[in-house]
Amino acid sequence: MRNRTYQFWGRLFAVLCLSCALQDVLADAGATPIPPEIGNRDRGYLPTNAIPDSLGLLPLPPADGSASFALDLIYAQKSFALRNTPAWALAIQDADLSFPNAASAYACALGVPVDEQHTPHLVKLLKKVKQDAGAATGAAKDRYKRPRPFMVNDARFCTPDDRARLEAGGSYPSGHNAIGMAWGLILAELVPARADAILARAQAFGFSRVVCNVHWYSDTVWGRYLGAYTVAKLHADRHFQDELSQAKDELDDLSEEAVAPNRDCVAERAGIEAQKPLTQ
């Protein structure tokens, strides 16, 4: 009788432990929203409670009539002159955060190909960081629901097929900028000799959203901050550190082999150069 009692309580305890574990996993997987323009809800490195708090860290988006919004309008107006230029073509390419396209966004800056064949560990890292940095923008996007520039100025934007997704996700802060800056900072750490080129590409990746007329300038600024905050959090994660080391080994090996990037670097340079009127 006593043995049966012990067996009963042992089984009950095991079931309760399994139930608690499942609840923790489900809560961790679904509590942080991923903006609809960022992509699916695959897991990144960070647990929900480690994702940067965009509501607590960021100021309110610029109000109508404020000096900050006046600057947003100036940048938007400048972007209109970049239609049908290399900057516009680059903005269309940078808008696509799906893989494999997004994996090679920094190939020219790195001077090597970035794809599943040459850098599988780096591609895996970029995918996971995308989820973490994108998730960091979700709370503020949901709370403020800031209308995007094309919804205000009724001008062309570079990815009209994405209208429904873009309108469903708030403009502030920019998820593309959070992701692009997070990628840039990590890659600059991996290849410090090319840090300036990598960070310049990160800046251009962000400005592409202004060129595209889907983000205000202030969206891009605060999106970059969130990208940096995300990277700071990532460095405390053991799995991130492990894959960072593996990605570095891949890039070091490739640099010795002198393999050409898997992007049109001439067109990319032309696009970055054509962006310069935005900041003048």
Residues contacting residue 260 through CB under 8 Å, at least 6 positions apart: 113
**Is 219 among the catalytic positions?**
yes
The secondary structure of residue 39, as a DSSP letter, is -
**Is 209 among the catalytic positions?**
yes
Q: Which one from 118, 146, 201, 215 is the annotated catalytic residue?
A: 215
Residues contacting residue 206 through CB under 8 Å, at least 6 positions apart: 174, 176, 177, 180, 181, 220, 223, 224
Q: Which one from 118, 146, 148, 176 is the annotated catalytic residue?
A: 176
The secondary structure of residue 58, as a DSSP letter, is S
Cis-peptide, bond into residue 86, ω within 30° of zero: no
Residues contacting residue 150 through CB under 8 Å, at least 6 positions apart: 156, 157, 166, 213, 214
Q: How much is the CA Rg of the chain, to the nearest whole Å?
A: 21
Q: How many CB atoms lie within 10 A of CB 178?
A: 33
CB 52, CB 235: distance < 8 Å: no
CA of 110: how far to CAs of 52, 119, 120, in Å?
28, 12, 15
Q: Which one from 72, 132, 219, 237 is the annotated catalytic residue?
A: 219
**Is 143 among the catalytic positions?**
no
Q: Which one from 209, 224, 237, 263 is the annotated catalytic residue?
A: 209
Torsion-angle region of residue 54: left (phi > 0), alpha (psi -120 to 50) or beta?
alpha
* Letter string b/e over residues 204-241, b meaning 16 or more CB atoms within 10 A of that residue's CB: bbbbbbbbbbbbbbbbbbbbbbbbebbbebbeebeebe
**Is 154 among the catalytic positions?**
no
Q: Any idea which residues carry the catalytic annotation?
A: 176, 209, 215, 219
